[in-house]
Amino acid sequence: MTDSPTVSTLGYALLGLLTRHPMTGYELTQTFDISLANVWSARHSQIYPELAKLQAAGLIVQTESGPRGSKRYAATDAGTEAVRRWLRTPPPAELMRSERLLRVFFFGMLPPEEAAALFRAEAARHRERLEHHLATAELIPPAPGPARLGRIALEAGIRFERMMTEWADWAAAEIQR
Amino acid sequence: MTDSPTVSTLGYALLGLLTRHPMTGYELTQTFDISLANVWSARHSQIYPELAKLQAAGLIVQTESGPRGSKRYAATDAGTEAVRRWLRTPPPAELMRSERLLRVFFFGMLPPEEAAALFRAEAARHRERLEHHLATAELIPPAPGPARLGRIALEAGIRFERMMTEWADWAAAEIQR
DNA sequence: TGACGCATGTAATCCGTTACATGATTAT
DNA sequence: ATAATCATGTAACGGATTACATGCGTCA
């Protein structure tokens, strides 16, 4: 802790959630499955060991022992400060990695009609996700509050799915020109 | 090879490129750095062992030995068929994982003015990438040909960066309302 | 002859997924 | 009773990055 311990992105995600209010590993797992699914994902098998690391680094503390051996953790002051430092550090360049877009590169190996059908299927999929995101957005109160930033992140998802739907429709037409 | 050997996404990417024309590992590495950088990335340290696997599986063959010990590979018929089968198999659900969007969730821990500045920086970054993509698109001949699908994939990148630029500008304004 | 680019490989490590494993509490 | 859900953990494995390591060919 003398020279900042390296914390993974998952670590910061957990830490960030724990600055809001104390949670158990189980609750954190659910949060990843539901509200954070859009932007990051993690399984319990990765979460529990990571919590142990954060605790060892003094960034979180266990505040409570519940039934069934559940443990509730909260961020320490050092943990909260670590998240702020993380937010202020320019994020590393993210390199794109999309198997779906990679496949597009090789669609020329299929008959044009088949390639167009794959694009149309892709458009349908994105349209479905768009509907789902729009329904989720309906549930978020427009008033300022803790859900505000979540709504802003969701907006990126909405615009992304809308964009990809239009792109795939365009590509299907383009390939048959 | 009796029951199809499992090929990773990287393997299919290499295989797909090798169906077009024979290449060395070095050339493949460069292709990932340049023309495929948008959709997938790989380092030489991952590429060379993967080529060995593909060769062992009979999906590629070495066609030539060049200077400095370079080896040129080409896809076999079995390899070409494997790529087609891959393209026809519905791709697995891709889960979103963006550290940049994850950070947004926690921007509430910073003063609104600072959060807005982070969004504006993000917008600037996407605007830059958009310009870069547009310049790349200029270089691609509009005529039909092998670059056609590459142009379609690039179009997704162009629309993505434009969308994210607008989103980040919107978010910067939204957070200061 | 020295620097740079071509060219290929291996090793250590990290991150993430799947599968394995166990047990407590609550509702039917 | 027993099924579902809550709750936590470990192990095996695969994919990817970084660092280590080496050597040939060309050009200034």
Position A59 scores a pLDDT of 97
Q: Which residues of B touch A104 (CB under 8 A)?
A: 39, 149, 152-153, 156
Task: Say what percent of chain A tops pLDDT 70.
Answer: 98
Residue B26 has pLDDT above 70, yes or no: yes
**Chain C nucleotides reached by a protein CB under 7 Å:** 5-11, 14-20, 23-26
- CA geometry: angle at A121 spanning A132 and A35, to 5°? 25
pLDDT digits (tens, 9 = 90+) for B157-166: 999 999 999 9
Distance from residue B10's CA to nucleotide D10's C1', rounded to whole Å? 30
User: Sign of the C-alpha dihedral, residues A12, A17, A22, A27?
Assistant: negative
Split at pLDDT 50, 70, 90, the class of B4 is low
Angstrom distance (rounded) from CA A23 to CA A25: 7
Position B92 scores a pLDDT of 93
CB contact under 8 A, B39 and A108: no
Residue B144 has pLDDT above 70, yes or no: yes
> A72-83 b/e with 16+ CB inside 10 Å = b?
bbbbbeebbebb
Distance from residue B24's CA to nucleotide C1's C1', rounded to whole Å? 30
The kind and range of the H/E element at A145 are none
Split at pLDDT 50, 70, 90, the class of B2 is very low
Question: What mean pLDDT is predicted for residues A113-122?
Answer: 97
Provide CB contacts within 8 A for A96, sequence distance 6+: B37, B38, B39, B40, B41, B157
Residue A133 has pLDDT above 90, yes or no: yes
- Model pTM? 0.94
User: Sign of the C-alpha dihedral, residues A95, A101, A103, A106?
Assistant: negative
Residue A131 has pLDDT above 60, yes or no: yes
Q: Walk across the sheet containing B60-65 and list its strands.
A: B23-24, B71-75, B60-65
Position B142 scores a pLDDT of 81
B64 phi/psi in degrees, rounded to 5: -165, 150
Chain A nearest C-alpha distance from B158 (Å): 10
Residue B134 has pLDDT above 80, yes or no: yes
Residue A141 has pLDDT above 90, yes or no: no
User: Sign of the C-alpha dihedral, residues B91, B97, B100, B101?
Assistant: positive
- Residues pairing with A64 in the sheet: A72
Angstrom distance (rounded) from CA B160 to CA B154: 10
CB contact under 8 A, B84 and A109: yes
Position A2 scores a pLDDT of 42
Residue B96 has pLDDT above 60, yes or no: yes
CB contact under 8 A, A103 and B91: yes
Q: Which residues of A touch B132 (CB under 8 A)?
A: none
What letter represents residue B135's amino acid? A
| Residue of chain B minimizing CA distance to A155 | B167
Distance from residue B16's CA to nucleotide C1's C1', rounded to whole Å? 43
Q: Which residues of A touch B12 (CB under 8 A)?
A: 102
Locate A76 and state its tokens.
């320490």
pLDDT digits (tens, 9 = 90+) for A14-29: 999 999 999 999 999 9
pLDDT digits (tens, 9 = 90+) for B50-71: 999 999 999 999 999 999 999 9
CB contact under 8 A, A102 and B39: yes
CB contact under 8 A, B163 and A166: no
Position A4 scores a pLDDT of 63
Q: What is the mean pLDDT of chain B?
A: 94
Distance from residue A23's CA to nucleotide C27's C1', rounded to whole Å? 25
Provide CB contacts within 8 A for A164, sequence distance 6+: A122, A123, A126, B156
